[in-house]
């Protein structure tokens, strides 16, 4: 069984991004993966701000990234880029933390004008962390995510396009986990 870590980079307590990340993790579990979610906002702020990778909570996340076969990186768009909170965590990862992993970038935002944040802001950082298999990411409009009482419903047009992206990521992780590590 392959393991997937879902990183949710929203600083908001009532985040559609976090709800979507949890929804994706649940879908991946149904597909036979072990999937855990980390809400970066729940990590200790001081160690994140001071780049204290030795902090137990931060070290646990770094270890979880290291052990995962696949990583989903979810973030809302702020100022045409992924969240600063997510950046704090990504900056604490070792240089090649994503080497050999399948990575799915997911971005949420208020307008389709932000869709390029995946390719121009997030993808380069993921590649610099050694990710050699970043599957095509996906942008979801905030208004297309209904998160009520822990249940997520996507707008039908969004769901029809989004779920095949998640399923392709799942298949890529399954395939990658069958290949022996070099």
Q: pTM for the full model?
A: 0.94
pLDDT single digits (tens) 78-102: 888 999 999 999 999 999 999 999 9
* H helices present in the chain, as ranges: 16-30, 45-49, 56-67, 84-92, 117, 123-128, 156-178
- What's the rounded Cα separation, in Å, for the pair 24 and 180? 26
Of 31, 42, 32, nearest to 7 by C-alpha is 42
Instruction: Give residue 89's pLDDT.
Output: 97
**Residue ranges per domain, the chain?**
3-178
pLDDT single digits (tens) 15-52: 999 999 999 999 999 999 999 999 999 999 999 999 99
Which CATH code for domain 3-178? 3.40.50.360
* CA distance readout (Å), 12 to 60, 88, 133, 136: 22, 15, 29, 25
Instruction: Give residue 181's pLDDT.
Output: 55
Please count the CA atoms within 13 angstroms of the CA of 52 that sit on its side-chain side: 11
pLDDT single digits (tens) 100-139: 999 999 999 999 888 889 999 999 999 999 998 999 999 9
């Amino acid at each position: 069984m392959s393991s997937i870590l879902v990183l949710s980079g929203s600083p908001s307590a009532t985040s559609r991004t976090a709800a979507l990340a949890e929804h994706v993790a649940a879908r991946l579990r149904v597909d036979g993966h072990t999937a855990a979610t980390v809400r970066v906002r729940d990590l200790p702020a001081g160690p994140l701000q001071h780049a204290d990778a030795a902090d137990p909570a931060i070290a646990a996340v770094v270890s979880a990234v290291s052990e995962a076969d696949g990583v989903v990186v979810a973030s809302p768009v702020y100022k045409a880029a992924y969240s600063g909170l997510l950046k704090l965590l990504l900056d604490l990862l070792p240089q090649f933390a994503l080497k050999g992993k399948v990575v799915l970038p997911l971005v949420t935002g208020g307008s389709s004008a932000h869709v390029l944040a995946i390719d121009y802001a997030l993808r380069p950082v993921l590649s610099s962390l050694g990710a050699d298999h970043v599957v095509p990411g996906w942008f979801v409009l905030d208004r297309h995510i209904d998160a009520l009482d822990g249940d997520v419903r996507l707008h039908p047009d969004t769901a029809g396009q989004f779920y095949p992206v998640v399923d392709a990521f799942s298949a890529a992780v399954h395939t990658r986990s069958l290949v022996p590590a070099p």
